[in-house]
Chains A and B, each alone.
Chain A
Amino acid sequence: MKHIISALVENKPGVLAHVAGMFAARAFNIDSLVVGRTEDPKLSRMTIVVIGDDRVLEQVRKQLAKIVPVVKVQDFVGQPVIARDLMLIAISAPPEKRPEILSLIEMFRGKVVDISQKSLMVEVSGPETKIEAFINVCKPYGIKNVARTGTIAMPRQAKTEP
């Protein structure tokens, strides 16, 4: 089962290596890992997607928490969560195909961010399934390049607010 783990870590050199090294040393599989700054310059957030059963995930959580510069670890499994990936995709788009492609982009609420004579670069964000679906519908036109982030996520706020 896929779990989204969110780890608040100290913004220090070597933390990413420590976390990645721990995953490798204990043979846990990382599906994706995203690191970014938070509102506090001393802290970064790592969002890690891990596949494993409950027992593996319990160990992942505990081993992460054990790393000294890791401040807080949460597993979002079982709670309502907003999870998003971001993708830049370059699609072959000769002028005669463009209207068709643009309507697809609109359906996926994508944005054209660059255009050339033969191609379009599109920015799409959303749940991983939506990203995959967009890649699939683009395939017939010819995909030139794909760059994707991993997943970032946050639990829905409703139940935590008073």
Chain B
Amino acid sequence: MKPKSRTSARSADKSTIKTGAQIIVDTLIEQGVDTMFGYTGGVVLPLFDRLYDAPIHFINPRHEQGGCHMADAYARASGKVGVMVATSGPGACNLVTGLATAMMDSVPMVALTGQVRTELIGNDAFQEADTTGITRPVTKYNCIVKDIKDLARTIREAFHIASTGRPGPVLIDLPVDVSVAKCSTDGTTEVDLPGYRVRPKGHAKQISMAAQAINKSEQPVLYVGGGVISANASEELRALAEKAHVPVTMTLLGLGSYDQNKPESLDMLGMHGTAYANYAVQECDLLIAVGARFDDRVTGKIDTFAPNAKIIHIDIDPASISKNVRVDIPVVGDAKLILSELVKEVEYHQRKEWFNKIAEWKQKFVLRYDESSSTVKPQYVITELCRQTEGQAIVTTGVGQNQMWAAQFYRFSRPRQLISSGGLGTMGFGLPAAIGAQIAKPKETVIDIDGDHSFNMTLTELATAVEHELPIKVCILNNGYMGMVRQWQELFYGHRYSKTYLKNPEYEAIACAFGAVGITVDKKTDVPKAIKKMLAEKKPCVVDFRVEREENVWPMVPSGKSLDEMDGLDILESMA
């Protein structure tokens, strides 16, 4: 009897004994991961061996930075946590830009990096880097797992931290010996984070104060950011704006949280925002900020920002409150919960004078470009894209003029429709982001509106798009310059175009060489049919639009000026 029971006990033990790599894969699956991005290497061999036949859709970028942006955009498009794996040393270092991008824009991500064996750490071993040290400022949280017993728990904690509160990237560094070690997974499961608290429910008294302020206000403005999208609070925002009758302006990352086709929409505010949004903010008596952080590109000169306004700030991150501007009524918590409470307490007011004033501004300062020009205007390309896709495509962008024109001339109507690097302003984001978004939303049309130089930075990921047969569209607004910097040089550095011109390759040929479709457009009349062809393509398609070379983005609040001190309004009016 005795030997028998011992044998069965041993076999029971065996069934729960796993390697670290197996624990990682099992815990990822348990956390709902069905798609991940990653690039292999020496110290992640055990993990990649487990991924060989794991039920996870795996996308291999051509560079870790690209993979990190893909995971980021996958998260932004789907609302799920994006997962990226990289090896130690250079692999981990290549994640830094991607992590910083996700950190600045509050995107939930988990990055797993391999690390050299624990006994080699600190010895300057081959492909060793102090990954947790390097990535600490660009992650919401990071840690190294040195004991296999902590592995499952740490991964669970990472997903919890990444996806709750103000979302952000979490990195776990995994020494290779932990991946090959074996242990029973029992008793290692409890999440233990005494220092991490999320309080989603807003303070009832603060919410009432906010409601009273809204009810009393004659000239209120809702100023909403990416927080509304990450909180999935668009429906509640719409209810509030309609019930209380308040106009809505959005930050770059907030675009899509409120349907731009609705009459209350003031579109984007800030440095390249609309004049009507900026004037409304400067003249409002109540500014209701939701999931936005008073970034300098939004506020202009901070001392003169919304000078007559009482400020309500709804945000999940207490540290965002009164960081840049002094807030009168802070409400800390989840935007969805707070807005749904707030809606109950607000009353409808017609605010006829205020809306009349706004209507006048909207009519006078409509965003324009020279439609009579015979050259290919970048704004025209985007307007035509918006028309042919009926405003329904998912748009990713590079950084600079292409990004601002996309924000100005594409009309976004639903959340998670615009995927752009706002806070960090990462050039090269557009193409990998389009790949990540297309993986998340295989049935949607995904368009990368890119700049030539932004595209140059990560164009190697075309190979990834071709390999996975993703029908992404890349529209390069090719002006041959680093356009936004050139614009500043024109305006503020006496036309001295220092190092903003770089020789570009032939993008059509590049696309073909990668196995994608390439199209070149240099005539205005060819724009509609090129876009039509592009939209019909099943393969990745790159369209090289040779646009007007020295077109500027207007209006523009010069750095350090107040929001209502916009340049270029006369230029826009002259095009009427």
Contacts and interface: CB of A to CB of B under 8 A. Distances in A.
Nearest to B157: A68
A59 B323 contact: yes
Contact of A17 (B133, B141, B196, B319): B133
B500 interface: no
Nearest to B170: A68
A63 B319 contact: yes
B141 A68 contact: yes
Given A66-B319, A68-B195, A25 B137 contact: yes
B195 A62 contact: no
A10 to B, nearest CB: 6
Nearest to A72: B195
Given A55-B322, A65-B318, A14 B136 contact: yes
A112 B144 CA distance: 45
Contacts of A88: none
Interface size range of chain A in the complex: 20 to 34
A18 B322 CA distance: 23
Contact of B140 (A62, A68, A72): A68
B192 to A, nearest CB: 9
Interface string B116-148: 000000000000000011001100111110000
A126 interface: no
B549 to A, nearest CB: 39
Given A14-B136, A14-B143, A18-B136, A68 B322 contact: no
Given A14-B136, A25-B137, A68-B161, A62 B193 contact: no
Contacts of A70: 195
B455 to A, nearest CB: 31
A82 interface: no
Contacts of A68: 140-141, 161, 193, 195-196
Nearest to B323: A59
Interface in A67-84: 67-72
Interface in A6-23: 9-10, 12-14, 17-18, 21-22
Contacts of B137: 21-22, 25
Contacts of A22: 137
A58 B144 CA distance: 31
Given A62-B318, A62-B319, A63-B319, A69 B136 contact: no
Interface in A99-142: none
Contact of B136 (A10, A21, A65): A21
B272 to A, nearest CB: 27
Contacts, number: 43
B317 interface: yes
Contact of A71 (B141, B142, B195, B319): B195
Contact of B195 (A10, A13, A21, A25): A10
Contacts of B194: 10, 42, 71
Most chain A CB within a 10 A radius of its CB, from B136, B142, B319: B319
Interface string B317-340: 111011100000000000000000
Interface residues of B, number: 20
Contacts of A12: 143
Nearest to B132: A14
A67 B195 contact: yes
B293 to A, nearest CB: 13
B317 A66 contact: yes
Nearest to A58: B322
Nearest to A24: B137
Contacts of B321: 62
Nearest to A42: B194
Contacts of A59: 319, 323
Contacts of A55: 322
A68 B321 CA distance: 19
A53 B240 CA distance: 37
Most chain A CB within a 10 A radius of its CB, from B143, B195, B196: B195
Contacts of A18: 136
A17 B136 contact: yes
A9 B196 CA distance: 11
A13 B317 CA distance: 25
Nearest to B141: A68
Interface in B500-558: none
A50 B141 CA distance: 24
Contacts of B141: 68
Nearest to A60: B319
A18 B475 CA distance: 41
Contacts of A14: 132, 136, 142-144
A44 to B, nearest CB: 12
Interface in B271-316: none
Contacts of A58: 322
A143 B133 CA distance: 38
Contacts of A13: 144
Interface string B132-174: 1100110011111000000000000000010000000000000
A42 B193 CA distance: 12
A65 to B, nearest CB: 7
Contacts of A67: 195
Contacts of A21: 136-137
A127 to B, nearest CB: 30
Interface in A33-48: 42
A59 B319 CA distance: 6
A122 B193 CA distance: 43
A69 B319 CA distance: 16
Nearest to A67: B195
B302 to A, nearest CB: 13
B290 to A, nearest CB: 19
Nearest to A68: B141
A5 to B, nearest CB: 15
Contacts of B196: 68
Given A14-B132, A21-B136, A68-B140, A9 B195 contact: yes
A2 to B, nearest CB: 21
Most chain B CB within a 10 A radius of its CB, from A9, A13, A42, A62: A62
A66 B317 CA distance: 8
Interface of B: 132-133, 136-137, 140-144, 161, 193-196, 317-319, 321-323
Given A62-B321, A69-B195, A71-B195, 11 more contacts: A12-B143, A14-B143, A18-B136, A21-B136, A22-B137, A58-B322, A59-B319, A62-B319, A68-B141, A68-B161, A72-B195
14 contacts: A9-B195, A10-B195, A12-B143, A17-B136, A55-B322, A58-B322, A62-B319, A62-B321, A63-B319, A65-B318, A66-B317, A68-B161, A68-B196, A71-B194
Please provide the 3 A-B residue pairs with the shortest distance between their CB atoms, ordered closest to farther.
Answer: A62-B319, A71-B195, A68-B141
